[in-house]
């Protein structure tokens, strides 16, 4: 079983959809799990009401995208189980192991009032993985170290107290397109970028999507070519068009005479790709009773799957 996560640290953007969510929906592995990691979004300054609404929006988007509802779960719905397991795992982890995490060092660097949770959140992530008994965790390079920590802690717990946890492994995610920021194509499109001009959000109005794409940074050349290294802005537009039309970016080079024509084609393709998703998401967001039902069912399934591991671990480590 595979566990994938998305953190509600901002509105879901086109890169999330083309790079991850669409693939998750296509995989649809019945035993897999897709986790909305809202607890992880509390490790730095956050707005509680905004976080709650972003988590709800993500849930609606994942369901609207066609991910089977029985595989989706919001992390804070398991707060009791995860809180307890995190404690057990913190008693299995050394301070040095937590402080060594690159993500912690990078995010804490130069900051004052760093939340203790920024140091301990990798252990919460380990709890997410181990509670569900996930064997595989698809992660990018930045999260590999945390999955290594999950392996270390699972092995250590199993050999010290008794065999409870599946030892997970990090796997390379099956990714769709990699989408770059439209205003600054040297960086990837991200839901937490401050300047939203280069980020297409899934729930943006079509007119706004078109405006953002028309303003995308390209280059001074006038010949269309696919050269990601030297002409990233143009390559990004071709990549997005290819992802939306299920084609190869190299085959699209000759189809458009000017940058303007290419941008119009990209805008049309993105608007049409997002239209059904936006409509379904909006309908779900207008039906809070349905979202609550989905959410509760997901939480019940995840609790049922993990409860026995938590109880065994608590008992073996000396509790209950
Ligand atoms: P994050 O937004 O970092 O929580 O990522 C959630 C998922 O979306 C992960 O699987 C990322 O790899 C994927 N993702 C995020 N941004 C992009 C992007 N610009 N292009 C492709 N995939 C992305």
Range of the domain at 51: 3-176+288-317
Pocket test for ligand 1, best of 9, 14, 18, 20 (most atoms within 8 A of CB): 20
Percent of the chain past pLDDT 70, that is, above it, reads: 99
**How many angstroms is it from 9 CA to the middle of ligand 1?**
12
The runs of H, that is alpha helices, within 161-258 are: 206-214, 232-245
Is residue 53 in some structural domain? yes
Question: What is the average pLDDT across 170-195?
Answer: 92
- Band (31; pLDDT cuts 50, 70, 90): confident
Is residue 187 in some structural domain? no
Strand (E) or helix (H) holding 51: helix 48-64
Residue pLDDT, tens place only, 258-307? 999 999 999 999 999 999 999 999 999 999 999 999 999 999 999 999 99
Does 141 lie in the same domain as 92?
yes
Between CA 23 and CA 9 the distance in angstroms is 21
Is residue 89 in some structural domain? yes
Q: Could you give the number of structural domains in the chain?
A: 2
Is the predicted pLDDT of residue 309 greater than 80, yes or no? yes
Between CA 103 and CA 123 the distance in angstroms is 13
Does 270 lie in the same domain as 161?
no
Catalytic residues: 107, 188, 191
Does 204 lie in the same domain as 302?
no
Residue pLDDT, tens place only, 90-139? 999 999 999 999 999 999 999 999 999 999 999 999 999 999 999 999 99
- Quote the pLDDT of residue 113: 94
The conformation of residue 202, written as its DSSP 8-state character, comes to T
Between CA 9 and CA 37 the distance in angstroms is 9
Higher pLDDT, 194 or 57: 57
Does 311 lie in the same domain as 239?
no
| Mean of the per-residue pLDDT values of the chain | 96
């Amino acid at each position: 079983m595979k566990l994938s996560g998305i953190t509600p640290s901002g509105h879901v953007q086109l890169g999330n959809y083309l790079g991850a969510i669409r693939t998750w929906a296509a995989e649809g592995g019945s035993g897999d799990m897709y986790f909305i990691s809202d607890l992880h979004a509390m490790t730095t300054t956050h707005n509680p009401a905004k976080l709650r609404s972003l988590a709800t929006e993500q849930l609606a988007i994942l369901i609207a995208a066609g991910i089977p509802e029985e595989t989706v779960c919001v992390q804070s719905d398991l707060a009791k189980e995860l809180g307890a397991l995190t404690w057990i795992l913190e008693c299995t982890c050394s301070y040095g192991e937590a402080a060594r995490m690159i993500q912690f060092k990078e995010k804490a660097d130069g900051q004052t009032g760093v939340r203790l949770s920024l140091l301990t959140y990798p252990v919460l992530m380990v709890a997410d993985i181990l509670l569900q008994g996930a064997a595989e965790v698809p992660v990018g390079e930045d999260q590999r170290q945390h999955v290594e920590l999950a392996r270390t802690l699972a092995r250590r717990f199993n050999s010290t107290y008794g065999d409870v946890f599946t030892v997970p492994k990090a796997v390379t995610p099956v990714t769709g397109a990699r989408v770059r920021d439209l205003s600054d194509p040297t960086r990837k499109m991200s839901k937490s970028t401050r300047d939203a001009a280069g980020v297409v959000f899934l729930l943006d109005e079509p007119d706004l999507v078109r405006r953002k794409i028309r303003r995308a940074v390209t280059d001074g050349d006038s010949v269309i070519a696919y050269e990601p290294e030297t002409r990233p802005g143009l390559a990004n537009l071709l990549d997005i068009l290819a992802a939306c039309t299920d084609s190869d970016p190299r085959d699209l080079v000759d189809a458009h005479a000017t940058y303007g024509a290419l941008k119009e084609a990209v805008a049309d393709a993105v608007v049409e790709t997002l239209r059904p998703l936006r409509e379904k998401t909006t309908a779900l967001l207008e039906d809070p009773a349905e979202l609550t039902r989905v959410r509760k069912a997901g939480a019940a399934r995840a609790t049922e799957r993990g409860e026995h591991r938590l109880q065994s671990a608590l008992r073996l480590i000396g509790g209950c």
